[in-house]
Amino acid sequence: MTIEEYLGKEVHAIIDRPIGSKHPEYDLIYPINYGYIPDTKSEIDNEPIDAYVLGPKGPLKEFTGKVIAIVKRENDEEKLVVTNQNFPKESIEQLIDFQEKYFKHNLITL
């Protein structure tokens, strides 16, 4: 399955970096839940596909929602944006900027 085929699909994410957690390598605190989609494999790094989870205000362990966007980094991995709410493209960009500001990327939305 290509990354674009996830757009609009429901996925289940495991949250390994909940709201308020610190990035394991960088001085970065997660303002949103962040995790991965089990049983998937990124074409870029052969690891499970990463996912930003938008909407819930507290830390989570897992989340099921719809993929509303794909973050395609230039020469780097791709990520899904998962939620159970509606977010305009501008809001998605603002919510993921804490990490994506360090990468040149393109946001593909529904």
Rounded Cα–Cα distance for residues 28 and 96 (Å)? 12
Output the pLDDT for position 81. 98
Q: Write the pLDDT tens digit of every residue in 75-93.
A: 888 999 999 999 999 999 9
Residue 69's domain spans which residues?
3-109
Residue 65: which residues within 8 A CB-CB, separation 6 or more? 10, 11, 13, 53, 55, 82, 83, 84
Residues 13-24 have pLDDT tens digits of: 999 999 999 998
**Structure tokens that stand for 70 in this block:** 């794909």
Here the CATH number for the domain that contains residue 38 is 3.90.80.10
Q: Which of 96, 32, 99, 102 is nearest to 70 (CA)?
A: 96
What pTM value is reported for the model?
A: 0.95
Number of domains composing the chain: 1
Residue 1 is predicted with a pLDDT of 80
